[in-house]
Amino acid sequence: MQERIIQFLKESDGYISGEEMSQRLKMSRAAIWKHMQELRAQGYEITAVPHLGYQLMACPEKLLSFEIQSGLNTKIIGKKIIVLDTVTSTMDEAFRLGNENCPEGTVVCAEAQSKGRGRLGRAWTSPKSKGLYFSLVLRPSLPLNQLAQLTLMSAVALAEAIESISDLRPLIKWPNDLLLENHKLAGILTELRAESDQVKFVVIGIGLNVNASAHQLTEGASSLRIAAGKSFNRTEIFQAILRSLEQGYAKLLRHEFAQIIEEWKKRSATLKKRVRITDPSGIIEGEAIDLDEDGALLIRRDNGLVIKKTAGDVFLLR
Ligand code: BTN
């Protein structure tokens, strides 16, 4: 019913009286008033003036799957899009869908996450309707040791999408953090289900801070709005990201990972920097000199030895 009320308000030129609404929607004026209160609580700005009626002044910026899908024109990514309100983590939802054999390219996103998660057991702060928090289910026929390609591809796709809708030029901190002026703008988490070395499906989780202000984020994080000084339409960005992921995924399936590595290197915040990298095997320091053909980071230690890292947490030293 609330959708119909919104539709009415959107279609009416100026005010629409409570009486007219009550007749057309076949409900009492008191019931209409109650719906208006609920809509206001959801973020709709509705003014009510005696003798004139109601007028819709502004809508909350909500993600709607039909809006995201309209004009998307992708073949795989986003063929099915599920938009939820608040979830623990879209990763949990995506795993459930993956186990239920959802089609490849299914995307599940949420307005908020109560337990959004990041790499290495960290939390992902997900203020309501201020960012894009989504997980994508893929079923690639890649061997387990090449799955890092998907993560690097996603980071490049995300950076390219942001470049296409703004003047911002995010850099990528290995393996897949997007930075703006050294502050974290977006993160990517890749998880998978495999059975006896065979990948059943992969879930790529992406968190992008869009319209959040600094106090809504953790220290050291940024958002498109903070960096650009203006708000962004999340649906447009979402579409740009899904299109970009579609292109990147097609490249991977055509075994064109070398091209993705080149794009990654152009945006690197890590290469040619002194870094400290921690992983369960310990801490090493040195200069990040290159990525190898699988996307592993090559670090030259002070004793000249070159070490290859396929995972870990990088601190940029200078
Ligand atoms: C990281 O930077 O460590 C990765 C962050 C990934 C966050 C996204 S938000 C959507 C999806 N759901 C989650 O719980 N995490 C990912």
pLDDT by residue (tens digit) across 172-216?
999 889 999 999 999 999 999 998 778 999 999 999 999 999 999
Q: What are phi and psi of 13, to 5 degrees?
A: -90, 100
Q: Which of 206, 293, 222, 203 is nearest to 255 (CA)?
A: 293
The number of the ligand 1 atom at minimal distance from the alpha carbon of 117 is 14
Q: What is the pLDDT of residue 279?
A: 80
Report the separation in Å between the CA atom of 164 and the middle of ligand 1, taken as the mean of its atom positions.
22
Return the CATH number of the domain spanning residue range 65-266: 3.30.930.10
118 CB within 6 A, ligand 1: yes
Q: The tokens of 123 are what? A: 């939390």
CATH architecture of structural domain 2-58: Orthogonal Bundle (1.10)
Omega within 30 of 0 (cis) for the link into 175:
yes
Q: What is the pLDDT of residue 213?
A: 92
pLDDT, tens digit, 9 for 90 and up, residues 291-313: 998 899 999 999 999 999 988 88
Distance CA 318, CA 312 (A): 18
Do 6 and 56 meet the contact criterion of CB atoms below 8 Å apart? yes
pLDDT band at 3 (very low <50, low <70, confident <90, very high): confident
> Which positions ≥6 away from 283 have C-beta within 8 Å?
276, 277
Pocket test for ligand 1, best of 137, 192, 206, 223 (most atoms within 8 A of CB): 206
Report the separation in Å between the CA atom of 151 and the middle of ligand 1, taken as the mean of its atom positions.
12
CA dihedral 278, 280, 281, 283 (to 10 degrees): 20
Task: Look up the pTM and report it.
Answer: 0.83
Report the separation in Å between the CA atom of 305 and the middle of ligand 1, taken as the mean of its atom positions.
34
Do 3 and 39 meet the contact criterion of CB atoms below 8 Å apart? no
Report the separation in Å between the CA atom of 67 and the middle of ligand 1, taken as the mean of its atom positions.
23
132 CB within 6 A, ligand 1: no
CATH architecture of structural domain 274-316: Roll (2.30)
Neighbour count for residue 185 (Cβ, 10 Å): 27
The number of the ligand 1 atom at minimal distance from the alpha carbon of 90 is 12
95 CB within 6 A, ligand 1: no
Mean pLDDT over 153-179 rounds to 96
Do 197 and 234 meet the contact criterion of CB atoms below 8 Å apart? no
Cα–Cα separations (whole angstroms), residue 212 to 49, 96, 285: 33, 29, 34
Please give the DSSP secondary-structure letter assigned to residue 102.
P
| Sequence ranges of the domains in the chain | 2-58, 65-266, 274-316
Question: Which residues share a beta bridge with 114?
Answer: none
Mean pLDDT over 21-47 rounds to 88
Report the separation in Å between the CA atom of 214 and the middle of ligand 1, taken as the mean of its atom positions.
18
Q: The tokens of 318 are what? A: 């200078």
Question: Which residues share a beta bridge with 309?
Answer: 297
